[in-house]
Chain A
Amino acid sequence: MAKDAFGAKVKEKVNWPVTILLLIGLITIIFPLYMAVVIAFKDPSEMTNDIAGILSLPSSWSLDNFIEAIQVTDFFNSFLNSLIITVVAVVISVLVHSIAAYAIGRNMDSKKLFKWSYYFIVAGMYVPFAILMMPLVKQTAILHLDNMVGVMILYVVFYMPMNMMLYTGYLRNIPIALEEAARVDGASTWTTYWKVIFPLMKPMHATVAVLTGLAVWNDVMTPLVIMGGQGVNTLPLAQMSFQTAFSTNYNLAFASYLLAMLPMIIFYVFAQKQIINGVTNGAVK
């Protein structure tokens, strides 16, 4: 905001040409979503082979496709599975990764073991899932973890490198004097952590929760290889099995895609600021 010599805000001229260009550019974002919405509401008989038939508004806004899609894909079941996996993975990540980062971050400057552990874990960021995938399929089967529990454990491990880096980075800004004050009062390290440090890391918890949550919610590969073909679906997996079974009814398909996108869109409407901040902080730090 520009200010004049006396510090008062000056009303700035709106850059209309750029505003209009940005408005036009929004078509690229909105068009695919518009297409999904109109097709999802249409009856298959309304779909003619020309573009007008595909993209015109439906003659009536019927929810039939959605109701059928909910039944065919067993929507509520896969939604619940996705929700459980995401919530559990996020909560455990926040608790475990933050305390691990505390142990490592407070000791890595003085102790080799902790410093070495830090680099060991953070180097995990360079390990693509593709190389872990095949051995993990065998390993989880042997351990009877080829199910939702196994998938959740894997997420906690996969996002550990990124979250470890974020948390230890943030921890550097928290003065050690705060803990020492608590220690002088006789608090144990454990209590000090939960009472003093954990609450102070709140902004980083939000970032970690957003990054881990988004990644887990939308992930396809892990549940696909670990618990694929067992009839237990996450929301993306349900779209995949639906696609192979009913690929010709596009109206039904798009209703199903929209249903799969809806929970995240609703969440975004309410937590937009936290999500954008989380994604930005996670990448910039």
Chain B
Amino acid sequence: MANLAKAKVGSDRNRTFLLILIPVLILFVAFNTFPLLTGVFYSFTDSKGYGAFNMVGLQNYIDLFGDARVGNSYLFTFKVAVVSTLITNVISLVLAMGLNSKIKFKSAFRALYFVPQILGALVVGYVFSYFFTYIVPALTGTGSILASTEWAWVAIVVVCCWQSIAQTTIIYITGLQSVPEDVYEAGNLDGATGWNLFRYITFPLIMPSVTTNMVLVMKNMLMVFDQIVAMTSGGPAQSTESISYLIYNNGLSGGQFGFQCANAVIFFILIAVISVAQTKFLNSREEQL
């Protein structure tokens, strides 16, 4: 009898869990998995986004590799992502150590350095666009770097870093706070100071934060979009077209729906592979320590 009652309660419980799970799964499939699969399907067509279309097999993928504009967008996006990730992490780590030391006005400093994180990337982009168009040229006496095909990417890096440093710093501070004080004291006793203390004691111990930040920033930067819209619209001469921007621009209004779907499929695979590989690689380094 008791077993029977228990079994009944158990099956009620299971039914409730299924009643929760199924609608949520349906919602997720309908607005994530289904459009993803539709995207993959369209990548094998010559669809312009409207009207009839034909299946073209792998033609879009073949064309993709010969397309200079697509190639440039990948080069640009990776250049910005790699440079921004490195700069963000170096500055954030230094800043975090400063903010974690025995300073005056500690909480006020932390609150102010965090402000860029809460602001919208688009509006920040507009403000920096003005800064690079009017203020910087007036100071240096040169033209605006936003008008230079060679240097406009630097402006994008600056604005990306300005915003992403905020969050990265806070994560490093959390990492630094988790290092117990006596570890440093032991290091001091062994004669480790300054750079050595950082290199052999602090850095290995905050490796989890390094992993988090590297993956987080890199993934965000690879998807850079708002800053491009606000500052360059992909120009000058398509020199600052990020992958997301190109897909948005040519896929939705440039009549390349099918072709840009193929581009998006490649982009998706790249993001997934990079994120997984980066996590694996950095995690393996953590375990060694």
> What is the interface of chain A, defined by CB distance below 8 A to chain B?
2, 12-16, 18-19, 21-22, 25-26, 28-30, 32-33, 35-36, 39, 49-51, 54-55, 96, 99-100, 102-104, 106-107, 113-114, 117, 120-121, 124, 126-139, 153-154, 156-158, 160, 183, 188-190, 214, 217-218, 220-221, 225, 235-236, 239-240, 243, 250, 253-254, 257, 260-261, 264-265, 267-268, 272, 275-276, 279-280, 283-284
Contacts and interface: CB of A to CB of B under 8 A. Distances in A.
Nearest to B136: A51
A99 B23 CA distance: 12
Interface string B253-289: 0000100110011011001100110000000000000
Nearest to A52: B138
A236 B32 contact: no
A25 B92 CA distance: 12
A261 B265 contact: no
A134 B247 contact: yes
A177 to B, nearest CB: 15
A128 B98 contact: no
Contact of A157 (B16, B32, B135, B267): B32
A217 B12 CA distance: 40
Contact of A128 (B118, B181, B212, B267): B267
B104 A19 contact: yes
B179 interface: no
Interface in B77-125: 95, 98-99, 101-105, 109-124
Contacts of A138: 38, 49
Given A124-B28, A276-B170, A35 B17 contact: no
Contacts of B20: 99-100, 102-103
B21 A114 contact: yes
B226 A221 contact: yes
Contacts of A33: 115
17 contacts: A2-B181, A21-B98, A22-B95, A32-B124, A100-B20, A103-B17, A117-B25, A120-B28, A132-B35, A138-B38, A157-B28, A189-B16, A239-B122, A265-B118, A272-B114, A279-B167, A283-B171
B55 interface: no
Interface centre among B9, B34, B114, B122 (most CB of A within 10 A): B122
B174 A133 contact: no
Given A132-B36, A134-B260, A283-B216, A268 B271 contact: no
A96 B24 contact: yes
Contacts of A50: 138
B182 to A, nearest CB: 12
Interface stretch (B59-67, B126-134, B149-157, B193-201): B126-134
A127 B38 CA distance: 13
Interface centre among B34, B35, B110, B124 (most CB of A within 10 A): B35
B28 to A, nearest CB: 6
B233 to A, nearest CB: 10
Contact of A218 (B27, B110, B121, B251): B121
B244 interface: yes
Nearest to A132: B35
B94 to A, nearest CB: 10
Contact of B171 (A120, A264, A280): A280
Contacts of B272: 126
B42 interface: yes
Contacts of A133: 247-248, 251-252, 264
B203 interface: no
A25 B267 contact: no
A272 B20 CA distance: 34
A9 to B, nearest CB: 13
Nearest to A53: B138
Contacts of A13: 102
Given A131-B265, A133-B251, A279-B170, A22 B98 contact: yes
B38 A139 contact: yes
A42 to B, nearest CB: 13
